[in-house]
Structure 1
Amino acid sequence: MPPMPPITQALLLLNVALFCIDIALGESLSRWMALWPLESGQFMPWQVVTYAFMHGGIGHLFFNMMGLWMFGSELEQMWGQQRFIRFYAASVLAAAATQLVLSLLGGWMTPTVGASGGLFGLLLAYGMIFPDRTIMPLFPPIPMKAKVFVAVYGAIELFLGVTGTNSGVAHFAHLGGMLGGWLMIRYWRGQPPFSRGPRRR
């Protein structure tokens, strides 16, 4: 497991702290910070960010934070703090936008919480930057290359989202996070659909 750099550590601590505060307040905080559908009457602009710091249970929190540590730590060390923050924010915002659009189209009225959108963006970046790195996921506990792991998880999320399996999980928001991360990397590299020339900032 990689050492934990400052931004990854701060994100992890903030998520854990807000989870504990939410439990202490009887989950009233998550009702205010969760991402509510546009038509619900409870949507507020800040929710496109704050939802990513709330979680629906200890298992949800644990697996997201473990993924943040595993994939985010090395990416932050490579990119630096500012680029890492921009990338994570792009993934979180893209996941929120995806969920809002699909909630509007599908007539869903349930709120969304969790850092999974940002995490799936980090997962995609890890697979793109370290495609041949061998990793050992918890499920399934089979060593595989990072690019295979990303492809498998992306396919699973797409299948579960289309079939409606495991209802209550925002599978398309996860894919939206991956899309946001992919677009950010393409932007930095100056690849289509963006103009040519790598971004140095």
Structure 2
Amino acid sequence: MGRLTESIKHLIIINIILFVAPQFFKGIDLQTLFALHFPESPEFGIWQYVTHMFMHGSFSHILFNMYGLWAFGTPLEQMWGRNKFLFFYFSAGIGAGAIYTLVNYFQFNGIYEQLISQGLNAGDIQSLLDTGTYNTSLISLSNETLSEFYNLYHTPAVGASGAIYGVLVAYGLSFPNSKLALMFLPVPISAKYFIPVMILADLFFGVTRYSIGNIAHFAHIGGALIGFIIAWYWKQNQFKRWN
């Protein structure tokens, strides 16, 4: 970690502005406009794969993400330079959003096909999604499954966490023996062990859905995957420099 580099400084400033702005301009619904919505939702826009990275749901959310951006992104920007770091950051964030969408789409379509098999038509299903109500005599799926179906359609994703996970993986590849520590486990652990454990935890919570809070685990995994691919490729070609 070191001084605040230019790209990271500007990214943090933009994130803070978009977090604070809705508190002063009540008539502007930035969350609806910039959060990443489900592709079938009328509120979805292709630009949201970029803009969702600058929106956050709470003070703790933006605090931890911006701390991670500074702590792990600073040495990467110092090593790579501005252009290369920004390309990496946005690639990881957009990739995180794309993989998150693909996983959600797969889960949504699985439940959609179950509803079709029970005799509902497209109009019935859209009514369920619009109103959240349904005829219990027509559907044998559990309330938990139907609630998941409804939430997949209506719950947007926000936050830079996917991009930060990409940064974290790149940091681990570049500085594998650097010591890191969790707040609830203040014992320093090498990045090469610490980071895989974090990603495996996200994979576990994403697959089992035993999540603590409303966390987009597959966005984290997506950002980590894209970040690993790019950082690993660059490491193999580390003597090629971007201007």
Take 2:173 and 2:165, find their aligned partners in 1: how far apart are those partners? 12
- CA apart distance, 1:25: 3.4
Map 1:37-116 to 2 at 5 A.
Answer: 37-107=38-108, 108-109=152-153, 110-116=155-161
- CA apart distance, 1:168: 2.2
- Seen in structure 2, the aligned counterparts of structure 1 residues 164 and 139 have a Cα distance that, compared at 3 Å, is same
- CA apart distance, 1:198: 6.9
Q: Select between 36-45 and 170-179 the one with higher mean Cα deviation.
A: 36-45
Query: 1:181 aligned to 201, 223, 227, which one?
Result: 227
**Which portions of structure 1, spanning 4 or more consecutive aligned residues, are displaced by more than 3 angstroms?**
197-201
Instruction: Check conservation: 2:181, 2:187, Cα contact below 8 A.
Output: yes
TM-score normalised over the length of structure 2: 0.76
- Seen in structure 2, the aligned counterparts of structure 1 residues 95 and 139 have a Cα distance that, compared at 3 Å, is farther
Instruction: Check conservation: 1:190, 1:199, Cα contact below 8 A.
Output: no
C-alpha root-mean-square deviation of aligned residues, in Å? 1.8
- Seen in structure 2, the aligned counterparts of structure 1 residues 68 and 139 have a Cα distance that, compared at 3 Å, is farther
The residue type paired with residue 9 of structure 1 is K
The residue type paired with residue 188 of structure 2 is P
Cα deviations across residues 44-85 of structure 1 (Å, max 9, x unaligned)? Answer: 011000000000000101110111110011111111000000
Please state whether the residue corresponding to 1:142 is helix, strand or coil: strand
Please state whether the residue corresponding to 1:38 is helix, strand or coil: coil
Q: Select between 102-111 and 172-181 the one with higher mean Cα deviation.
A: 102-111
Structure 2 portions without partners, runs of 5+? 109-151
Equivalent pairs counted in the alignment come to 196
Instruction: Check conservation: 2:96, 2:221, Cα contact below 8 A.
Output: yes
Structure 1 portions without partners, runs of 5+? 192-196
Take 2:62 and 2:20, find their aligned partners in 1: how far apart are those partners? 11
Instruction: Check conservation: 2:172, 2:191, Cα contact below 8 A.
Output: yes
**Identity across matched positions, percent:** 39
TM-score normalised over the length of structure 1: 0.91
Match of 1:5 in 2: 5
Instruction: Check conservation: 2:32, 2:43, Cα contact below 8 A.
Output: no
- CA apart distance, 1:148: 1.1
Take 1:183 and 1:23, find their aligned partners in 2: how far apart are those partners? 38
The residue type paired with residue 100 of structure 1 is T
Match of 1:118 in 2: 163
Take 2:23 and 2:166, find their aligned partners in 1: how far apart are those partners? 27
Cα deviations across residues 77-118 of structure 1 (Å, max 9, x unaligned)? Answer: 111000000110110011010111112112211100000001
- CA apart distance, 1:164: 0.6
- Seen in structure 2, the aligned counterparts of structure 1 residues 165 and 24 have a Cα distance that, compared at 3 Å, is farther
Higher relative contact order (CA 8 A, sep 6+): 2
- CA apart distance, 1:189: 4.3
- CA apart distance, 1:199: 4.9
Take 1:168 and 1:198, find their aligned partners in 2: how far apart are those partners? 41
Query: 1:152 aligned to 178, 187, 197, which one?
Result: 197
